[in-house]
Structure formats: C-alpha cells, structure tokens
Chain A
C-alpha cells in the first residue's frame, strides 16, 4: 500500500479533524498493517483546558486511541482482497481491550493490526498500540462489518453517496 496521506484519505471515509492515522508504515494485504498517529496539542480534545494543570492531565483520550486503532483496522481491511465492497466499514463489536499506558502531545502512537479471519462482509482483527517500546493498548478482538451506506446514514438525501465515496476510490 502507498503510505502517502492522500492514498490514506482515499480509503478512509472520515475527514479532518477525525482522521486519526497519519501514515501507513507497513502493509501485508489480508494479514497485517502498521500505522502511525502523531499526537499534537493542537487537536480539539485539548481545547479549553484549565491553566496550570500537571502534565499527566494532557493524556490523549483513550477513546481516541481506540478510534485511531479502528481506523488502522479499516485501512487493513479495505486494502485486502475481497473487502467491504460498496458498504461502509464500521466497527460492529470490540472485545477484550486493555489499556496499559497513555500517550501525550509529542508522542507517536504506533498501531499493529492483524487479520484473524476474513468472512463475507466482515473481518475479525486484533493488535496492539505502542508509544516507543511501551504497549499502551491491546485489542483482543475488533469485528469490522460492511453496512450499506443508505442504512448507516438513515437515507439522508445525498449523504449515502458522499459517505460511501471513499470506499469506491480504493
């Protein structure tokens, strides 16, 4: 997979400021992907913070780490043979996820995602997220599913086509 940001945007249906993967660092279609996400203090999650907080309070929200991992999983699936088709890739289920550390502005989170099983219209994946050598998140199971854009968007006029356009660009 081309590791360029434009290629990444062509695959992911999300856009700024919700694009939480910056680079693909390794890719083996249908098997594994490595990605990087740089945390910066200019992200919206740091707006309106009180003054004089201790450094630990700038921990990047763990929900966002999980979203970043999920987007990495979507890239792996969408770049694999027989992926989501015209459907929108969504996280259907997460199980057995354990946080063991935090990330802060200036850190680079490196995700490693593995395919456990590809099925018709879905993918089972697992993996880890690290900052440096420290594992900060272990994902036991992420089940991605492809849902028709019209179902996901509730049939909003024009929305289904726009929301699914990224999946047609791959």
Chain B
C-alpha cells in the first residue's frame, strides 16, 4: 500500500494548523494533543506519557514546511525548491528550554514566528503553551531545505 509521507518524521507534530502572512513573516498556530497512542510515546515513559521536547522541534519544521507557500519571499530566501516542496530540516538550534512537562491529554499550541535567517535559512521562534495558557517550552531554530546539508 502506498504511503503518504514525503519525508521521515517521528509523528505528526500538529493535529491542526492555521497560518497567516504578515509582511515578510509567517505566523503559525499549530495545535497538538499529547496522546499515548502516538508513535514512540509508549516508551516515553512507561506508565506515564511525557511528550518529548524534541518532538516540538520536529513540529516546527513540519508546520513551517506545510505553510511556507503563504510567504513566497521566505520560500525564495530558502533557495530553490520544487512545487509543493515541504521538506525542511533543522539546521541549527540556537536555544531550547523546557519549562513544564507535557502530559497525556495536554492540548499544546505551538506559536511559531518565521523570519528570514542567514542566506538559505529561516529563523523560527517557538512559544509553546498549554490550553490553560501556561508556557511549557520555547525555542529558536534555523531551518534549511531538506537534502541541502
């Protein structure tokens, strides 16, 4: 049976994404509910589900890749990519900080602001909050097109 994914990922980093362009920036709200049935989470940890912070980083690249078409100037800044090209990779992780545990059933909102980075890269700043508004993690990364490094 044919699959649907165009690149490897640990899990779907967002259940729902909304995005808008603002000048030459891309603003994304990606919602993700932590579920013990998601791939890998049965082992993280046994007896209690804790969402790994690295999966937030994967969620950033997935969401930005999916919504990048909304801001052609950002896509152009990344360099050549085919139509519908949504495969991005982490290039650098400037900083990531985990402030609170993310548990089974938590509704996470990934607020991502995407701006131009160094040539060939986009800068994405993450502010991740639970449904109650409490900030659980924050990060700043640079994204590059998949297959370029």
Chain A interface (Cβ < 8 Å from any Cβ of B):
13-19, 44-51, 53, 56-64, 66-67, 70, 90-102, 151-154, 156, 158-160, 162-163
Chain A hits for B95, CB < 8 A: 93-96
In whole angstroms, what is the CA distance A10 to B58 when docked?
Answer: 28
Whether B53 contacts A163 by the Cβ 8 Å rule is no
When C-beta atoms are compared, the residue in chain A nearest to B92 turns out to be: A98
Shortest C-beta distance, A12 to chain B (Å), equals 10
Chain B hits for A16, CB < 8 A: 42-43
Whether A93 contacts B97 by the Cβ 8 Å rule is yes
Whether A15 contacts B54 by the Cβ 8 Å rule is no
Shortest C-beta distance, B134 to chain A (Å), equals 12
Q: Report the tally of A-B residue pairs with Cβ distances under 8 A.
A: 146
Chain A hits for B45, CB < 8 A: 13-15, 162-163
Whether B43 contacts A163 by the Cβ 8 Å rule is no
Whether B3 contacts A50 by the Cβ 8 Å rule is yes
In whole angstroms, what is the CA distance A92 to B8 when docked?
Answer: 26
Whether A64 contacts B5 by the Cβ 8 Å rule is no
Closest 8 CB pairs of A and B: A18-B43, A162-B47, A159-B48, A97-B93, A44-B39, A48-B3, A63-B58, A15-B43
B103 interfacial by beta-carbon distance below 8 Å: yes
B71 interfacial by beta-carbon distance below 8 Å: no
Whether B94 contacts A56 by the Cβ 8 Å rule is no
> When the two chains form the complex, which single residue of A15, A56, A92, A152 contacts B146, counting CB atoms closer than 8 Å?
A56
> What 0/1 readout, one digit per residue, does chain B (65-102) give for beta carbons within 8 Å of chain A?
00000000000000000000001011111111110010
Shortest C-beta distance, B62 to chain A (Å), equals 10
